[in-house]
């Protein structure tokens, strides 16, 4: 039986009756709704809902999008993504092609119901081990995006994802950025795989731990550089300097809240006159440096990004499920704080 949250008429952003692609609220809400459309596509598949019983299409049709291709993971036959094409309502529409997306490639997160859960859970483990790029889901996603870019160019192509899907979108976005293709990304509750320092209540302890981590990381990176040891993180970081993904996090969601401290600490170190240390530390992960020092290859963590537009939802959340959910991002009563962090 369908839940209320799957039904667009009951849970969707019906208040968005005015189209305004220049509005950050509108763009965020549309991107989140398209991601929700992917979730419902998979639920329709699981529940064998077809025709008038299917619930997914209103999540994109309301915003004048057409579903071009659902993305199917060959590992479990589940729908994990979708390619949407925007269709202007009328030929003389006021929407500018420079403001509205032409295509949006969206990815869902982990589904805890049905036959998709087992493989989704394995992918969460791949994410923690920093080898999501070795999965069939990433390969299908990156090939789909490359195909769209090769055919239509990179202008007005959006990536969007939630939770595991936002990690996938970030990985695809980083991979494309390394080749000079900068895609607009909307990343909702992106997982930050590291020690949850942001959850420490004592600000002095939290600040001290971050400073100590930066000093150790920068020192090890400097030593390895002087010893001419191979370390790819710095080169990769430099290749991403112009890429500016949009991250949407909730401080009550421990899976993504560390991004708040990650970027704020960089600013604090600059204010303290220790910007040189932090600029070196932020290019590397301590675990990756240790592995490299031991002569072992280590993939860079997803969270190592130079720049971002970080939006924090300061509205109270009753529980973790609400703080981590996709539904919060199209609400009309959100208390949001946005900052741009440029390396």
Domains of the chain: 4-199+241-268+302-341 (3.40.50)
pTM: 0.84
* 228-256 per-position pLDDT tens digit: 444 455 557 778 889 999 999 999 999 99
* 272-300 per-position pLDDT tens digit: 555 555 555 566 554 554 444 444 454 67
More confident residue, 298 or 47: 47
Q: Which helix (H) or strand (E) holds 286?
A: helix 286-293
If DSSP codes are grouped into helix, strand and coil, which group holds residue 99? coil
pLDDT at site 239: 83
Confidence of residue 200 (pLDDT cuts 50, 70, 90): low
Q: Which of 63, 84, 191 is nearest to 144 (CA)?
A: 84
What is the average pLDDT across 151-171? 96
More confident residue, 342 or 34: 34
- List Cβ neighbours of 279 (8 Å cut-off, separation of 6 or more): 266, 343
* 73-128 per-position pLDDT tens digit: 999 999 999 999 999 876 555 545 468 999 999 999 999 888 889 999 999 999 98
DSSP calls for 3-49: -GGG-HHHHS-TT--S--TT-HHHHHHHHHHHHHHHHHHHHHHHHT-
Q: Mean pLDDT, the chain, as a whole number?
A: 84
pLDDT at site 286: 44
Could you give the CA distance from residue 94 to residue 21 in angstroms, rounded to a whole number? 10
pLDDT at site 227: 52
Could you give the CA distance from residue 82 to residue 140 in angstroms, rounded to a whole number? 11
pLDDT at site 288: 52
HSE of 149 in the Cβ direction (CA atoms, 13 Å)?
22
Could you give the CA distance from residue 139 to residue 249 in angstroms, rounded to a whole number? 26
Beta bridge mates, 246:
186, 309
pLDDT at site 3: 84
Q: Greatest CA separation found in the chain? A: 65
């Amino acid at each position: 039986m369908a839940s209320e949250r799957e039904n667009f008429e009951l849970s969707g952003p019906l208040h968005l009756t005015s189209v305004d692609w220049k509005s950050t609220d509108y763009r965020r809400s549309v991107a989140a709704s398209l991601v929700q459309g992917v979730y419902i596509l998979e639920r329709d598949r699981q529940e064998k809902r077809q025709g008038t019983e299917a619930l997914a299409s209103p999540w994109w049709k309301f915003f004048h999008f057409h579903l071009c291709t659902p993305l199917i993971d060959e590992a479990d036959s589940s729908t994990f993504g979708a390619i949407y094409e925007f269709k202007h309502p009328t030929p003389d529409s006021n929407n500018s092609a420079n403001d509205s997306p032409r295509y949006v490639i969206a990815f869902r997160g982990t589904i805890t119901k049905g036959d998709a859960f087992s493989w989704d859970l394995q992918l969460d483990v791949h994410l923690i081990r920093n080898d999501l790029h070795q999965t069939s889901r990433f390969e299908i996603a990156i090939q789909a995006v490359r195909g769209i870019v090769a055919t239509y160019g990179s202008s007005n192509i959006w990536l969007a994802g939630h939770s595991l899907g936002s990690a996938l979108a970030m990985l695809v976005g980083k991979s494309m950025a390394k080749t000079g293709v900068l895609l607009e990304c909307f990343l909702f509750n992106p997982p930050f795989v590291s020690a949850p320092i942001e959850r420490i209540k004592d600000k002095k302890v939290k600040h001290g731990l971050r400073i100590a981590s930066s000093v150790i990381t920068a020192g090890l990176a400097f030593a390895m550089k002087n010893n001419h040891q191979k370390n790819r993180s710095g080169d990769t970081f430099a290749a991403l300097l112009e890429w500016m993904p949009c991250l949407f996090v909730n401080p009550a969601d421990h899976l993504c809240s560390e991004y708040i401290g990650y970027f704020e600490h960089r600013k604090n170190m600059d204010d303290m006159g220790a910007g040189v240390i932090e600029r070196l530390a932020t290019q590397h992960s301590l675990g990756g440096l240790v592995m490299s020092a031991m002569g072992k290859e280590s993939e860079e963590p997803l969270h190592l990004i130079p720049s971002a537009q970080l939006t924090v939802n300061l509205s109270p959340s009753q529980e973790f499920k609400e703080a981590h959910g996709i539904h919060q991002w199209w609400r009309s009563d959100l208390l949001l704080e946005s900052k741009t962090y440029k390396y």
